[in-house]
Chain A
Amino acid sequence: MGQVILWAYVQLVGLALATACGWARRPMIGCALGFPLGLVAWGSALIALLWLGLPLVAAIGAAAIVLAVAAGAAAWRRRADVDGRALAAAAAALAITAAVAALATAFPLAIVAERGHRILLAATAIGRNVDSIDFIWNILPSPPVFQASLHAAAPLVAGRPFFAALSPLCGIAAVVLLAGGGAELAGRGAGRAVRALLGLVLAAALCSFLFAVQATAVDLHAAAALFVIAFLVAHAIGEESAAPASIWAELLLLLGFALQGLAESVAASAMLLAIYGCDRRDPARLARPIFLYTAVLTAWHLLLWEAIGRRSLTVEPREALALTAAPVLAWAGLLAGTVRLSRPAPRRALALAAAGLLVVGIGLALGWTGDGDPGERWTAAARWFGRYRPGLSDCLLLGLAAVCVPLARGSASAAAAASVCILAAVELLIDLGEPIDPRELAGPLRVAAAAPALLLVMLTGVRLLTARRDETESRLDSAATATTATTATSGTAPARVNLLPAPRGLFAAVVAILLLTNVHHQVRAHRLTLRDARRLLAAGPTSLAGDERQFAYYLMGEWIPGATVVIPPRLADHAVFFRVLGRVAVEIAESTPRLRPDAVAQLAPLRAARRPLYYHVAAESESVYLLPSPRSSRYVLAEASPGTLYLLPEPLYFWSAIPAPGAAGAAR
């Protein structure tokens, strides 16, 4: 029951966020976007709170409250958009989510493969409040922190080792988005043919090995595919309807995709960001959302970079640094590319550029000679395709997508084509230098690439069947033409698009990143000291009476009444401490005394009686040690190592070096 409530809650938060982003005017798509939006909000909040050091129970509670308040407050401002239709759709979405969650809980079909086990191991570590990130770094070469954090709550919330309903919910949400988004994008005039095609696509999606299998596996693929398809649909429809607030939803979904993996999803999301930023009709509106997105991802990777640097595991620090720079570079490229553009960059050119990148990626991955013979790599690739048995539906999908890329027309199709190319290219580039493993049927991005491939096939099919020019593109082109004409008529230069936030915004972002990394470092250091039983805040006695001081210079006179300290010339400055603090007699030797050859043997039994001299209040050892001897009242101050002083009985030294009492120089 706990699982059902949790996912219904996530759906509810997502619906509130979708409403806040203006999606209540399109209730069907808004409700379909609700689950991914709620999921990324829930996962991000949980990760942030766990990373800041909150125990799991507190993190879950805090995330639930914060999200409910924030999403509710954000949605309240757009309450005018909510009508009876939207409410009915939201109720239906909630009911479907609850039903799917209940079914998946009652009849778990979960597949837990190798990576699934590692995710659950990490989730267990987080659930037991181990220093989670360190632990994850130790056991996972490429940690799906997002998934692990989600599943960590399962024992507490559902009393089960993991959430069996998570992947099915992601898969079904993706299919619903495909169907609903495809219907919206195909246009109302598509009629029966469109509906028939949608049915085919749905069947293909459900039968696809890459999709259906992963929709039951404990892994990150279903969620990655969901976020990609949700982003694509939100972007295409948002662009068509020119809804400015949908930018926030798009970037939230892209952030969800980026957080799924460590390397490939970040690189792919950065490229998607650049492509879609340039593709926007109104790039100026992107400034704040993209900047926030970049800041969050940068902070996240700076933290990861710090952790990687300490561990030196699979991902090298320089690679992580490059990944850290990826979103920043994408943002900078976007800035440079759009700052002088008064209309969207040609989408087909972007799609072709992405396809070119894919070709280069394939070439590099297969022809890379860094680790071996290129011929062997080509053979391995052929073997991979030979052993690839995903089924007819997958082959059909891949083939159709490959055909559809050059046929792509219109904003949504071009976006889907570009996404397929980018995701596949990044997957290949990430594998650069390593032979393709024939057993590796589903890399993190290959499943994600299937989602836009489905969308692409569907939209291209609709276009061919209806033989209509994409209305969206037409509208966009006419809008761009109108803008150009207006500009030419007025005779003024096109308005410069300023994507750079104000200095104040940049300052706030830098300070926020600094604060976040500082707090993370402090919390981590504190947890490490707790592990070693060394608390940062070591409570001790608050004060001591004067006679309880255990301080070498103070107690020398008390421990050894009538003691005399002989100080070699090099340490003569210390005389003042014995004289003023210990009130013992002090003599400055004329030359440096030398230990007798047999002194070591005599020192051994004395070591047991060593008196460390420390401040009781701080449990802090002084750097002066006394080795008392019952037969001696004269002690020589000797430096064992820089800063560490020993008071040793005088008989251990050559007598010739020690002046007779009273004959030495006066104490300073």
Chain B
Amino acid sequence: MTQAGFFALVYAAGLAFNLAWGPRRDAVLACALAFPCGLTFWVLGALLGVATGLASAPAFGLGTLVALVVGSAAASLRRACTPISWTRVAACSAAFVAGAVLVSQFSLAKFSPDSHQFLRIAAVFSRGGRLGETAAFLADRGIFTFLSYAAGELAGVDFMFSLAPVVGLSLAALLAVAISRALEREGVDRRTRLLASAGVTAAVMTTYVIAFHMVYIHANLGSALYLFGFGALFWLAERDGDASLLSPALVCLVAFSIHRVEAPVFAALFAVLAAWPSQLPRRLLAAGLFAFGAITAGWLLLLSAAIPSEGEFLTPGRAVLLSAMSLAPLAGLPLAARLPRALVARHLPTAVLVVASVGLAVTFAIKPHHMMTSLEAVVVNLLGVQIGLFGYAWWAALALGALCLATPPSRIARPLLMGVAVSVIVVVLLGFFRVPYRVGPADSAGRMFIHFLPLLYFLYAVKLVPLRRWRASAAEEAG
């Protein structure tokens, strides 16, 4: 099997999943989600192999993909009454395969010591490595990237040098399609939709640090893809009450949560902000959050038993704490259900923001110099144009954020926008538990901000593009 063949298999499995349990009516969106979802299932299968030790990670991953295709086909038959636009499926699939084949012809990979470590561990897993002997390396990196690169042996190459470009292209496709679909639901005309989706996608993907991560072997672009997938799909699902989008959204949330060591914090944060005030069926939300909590918490508990007791990043105690946080969205759902929905929607984001801000203030009070050093590095990395990481992306984000404050609040976008704002605080806060952040492209905080950029611009687009004027006329307000 070649790399392109592997990508096609993953895509096919993801497509089967989406057509069975995802946005079956919207073939283009299903195709855009196919690769991210398929890759998640590959990783979850491989994770099962690593955790149980019954077979190698690739064998379990491959088995999972095959089982997914079969299971999805069976499920699709039960939903056969919903039509599928096979022409669009074929066109989008052909485009994906052509793109995958194209990027598989060139070696574009960029490395750092972190990349080498990713590939080494991936190689160990692809040759039957077990959890125990690699646990020391898993304490400072998420498992997702290791296992996604573990397919190198299967694909007959040193390493999956085209995986990062394919992930990047998937992010671009999903960003464009999601913006277009969201604006369509907001009643924006076709020309504006096309312009907005193309413009925002181009602006986000050409940001230097994101473009670089399209060829750089690391975990951040994948995190960005999955966090964006969750946020955008949840927005779309909430907008029209379309529960079929919940499945891929929660798959994205699971994938995001195992991308990095600290990712469960952000995953739980977004899950709480999105799910608790949601108007989607509680039963479906509970099932999704149960799957998220079970997988994430289960993996973290397993890891807590294997990793060294001392470390800079993940320790057994922290792993247990994170696993508890992963279960928090599910645990709090019944409580949120008892409260008036409007009350939760109005006050929950503010409450979370206040709590995070207080936490940040406490960390500054305890270690003022340490936290100031971290904060300065974060600010320079984000806003320093001469450094060239984000260019003007965060300047523009700040300007658009100010613009959003001057426009009417949006029920659906507000919790997610607040989630990004709180995440920024949490990133700074996490600096308390480690050596201070530093200025430069290798800094962890600077790279973490990649995760939020696509989602932020998506939310800005869906909030601002439909506004043709600042205030609705009296007639519109009356109507």
Contacts and interface: CB of A to CB of B under 8 A. Distances in A.
B414 to A, nearest CB: 16
A54 to B, nearest CB: 17
Contact of B158 (A503, A514, A549): A549
B399 interface: yes
Contacts of B385: 302, 305-306, 309
B159 A537 contact: no
A309 B107 CA distance: 33
Interface in B125-169: 127-129, 133-134, 136-137, 156-159, 161
B161 A525 contact: no
A503 B470 contact: yes
A522 B211 contact: yes
Given A515-B202, A522-B208, A537-B108, A503 B407 contact: yes
A519 B158 contact: no
Interface stretch (B59-67, B116-124, B278-286, B416-424): B116-124
Nearest to B129: A580
A615 B407 contact: no
Contacts of B195: 508
Contacts of B134: 576
Q: Which of A510, A539, A544, A553 has the most CB of B within 10 A?
A: A510
B470 A518 contact: no
A506 B156 CA distance: 50
Contact of B464 (A503, A546, A623): A503
B113 interface: yes
A508 B470 contact: no
Contacts of A541: 107
A503 B403 contact: yes
B400 A507 contact: yes
Contacts of B386: 306, 309-310
B158 A615 contact: yes
A547 to B, nearest CB: 12
Interface in B445-472: 457, 460-461, 464-470
A309 B111 CA distance: 28
Given A522-B206, A537-B108, A541-B107, A576 B124 contact: yes
A620 B120 contact: no
Contact of B467 (A502, A513, A522, A573): A502
A646 B310 CA distance: 26
Contact of A521 (B133, B159, B208, B461): B208
Contacts of B113: 623, 643
Contact of A502 (B123, B206, B469): B469
B467 A504 contact: yes
Nearest to A510: B396
A581 B124 contact: yes
Nearest to A503: B467
A617 interface: yes
Interface residues of A, number: 54
Contacts of A519: 206
Interface in B172-199: 192, 195-196, 199
Interface stretch (B328-336, B363-371, B387-395): B387-395
A504 B466 contact: yes
B136 A581 contact: no
A543 B206 contact: no
A620 B113 CA distance: 11
Interface string A378-417: 0000000000000000000000000000000000000000
Contacts of A623: 113, 116
A597 interface: no
A618 interface: yes
B392 A577 contact: no
B76 interface: no
B158 A511 contact: no
A542 B211 CA distance: 21
Q: Which of B120, B202, B465 has the most CB of A within 10 A?
A: B120
A514 B464 contact: no
Contact of A618 (B107, B137, B466): B107
Contact of B207 (A518, A549, A618): A518
Q: Which of A309, A500, A518, A542 has the most CB of B within 10 A?
A: A518
A580 B124 contact: yes
A500 B136 CA distance: 57
Interface in A521-544: 521-522, 525, 537-544
A511 B458 CA distance: 12
Nearest to A309: B386
B105 interface: yes
A293 interface: no
- Binding site secondary structure of chain A: helix
A668 interface: yes
Contact of B156 (A543, A576, A619): A543
A625 B106 CA distance: 27
B152 to A, nearest CB: 10
A226 to B, nearest CB: 33
A629 interface: no
Given A515-B199, A581-B127, A507 B120 contact: no
A398 B161 CA distance: 70
A310 B385 CA distance: 10
B200 interface: yes
Interface in A345-377: none
Given A521-B391, A538-B107, A543-B156, A513 B465 contact: no
A617 B206 contact: no
B158 A551 contact: yes
Contact of A553 (B120, B133, B464): B120
A284 B430 CA distance: 49
B136 A573 contact: yes
Contacts of B470: 498, 500, 502-503
Contacts of B161: 617-618
Given A306-B385, A580-B129, A502 B468 contact: yes
A115 interface: no
Nearest to B469: A502
Contacts of A507: 400, 403, 460-461, 464-465
Nearest to A621: B111
Q: Which of A302, A515, A522 has the most CB of B within 10 A?
A: A515
Contacts of B137: 573
A310 B393 CA distance: 19
B465 A518 contact: no
B2 interface: yes
A651 B237 CA distance: 67
B107 A514 contact: no
A391 to B, nearest CB: 47
B464 A506 contact: yes
A514 B467 contact: no
Given A306-B385, A504-B465, A544 B124 contact: no
B72 interface: no
Contacts of A543: 2-3, 156-158
B200 A511 contact: yes
Interface string A182-216: 00000000000000000000000000000000000
A517 interface: yes
Interface in A297-330: 302, 305-306, 309-310
A544 B211 CA distance: 26
A514 B393 contact: yes
Contact of B120 (A522, A545, A577, A619): A577
Contacts of A622: 116
A511 B403 contact: no
Contacts of A668: 133
B169 to A, nearest CB: 15
A506 B211 CA distance: 25
Contacts of A617: 107, 109, 157-159, 161
B158 A515 contact: no
B208 A577 contact: no
A544 B158 contact: yes
8 contacts: A504-B467, A508-B196, A512-B199, A518-B208, A539-B107, A542-B105, A543-B3, A618-B111
Given A504-B467, A620-B109, 6 more contacts: A305-B385, A502-B469, A504-B192, A506-B464, A518-B206, A575-B133
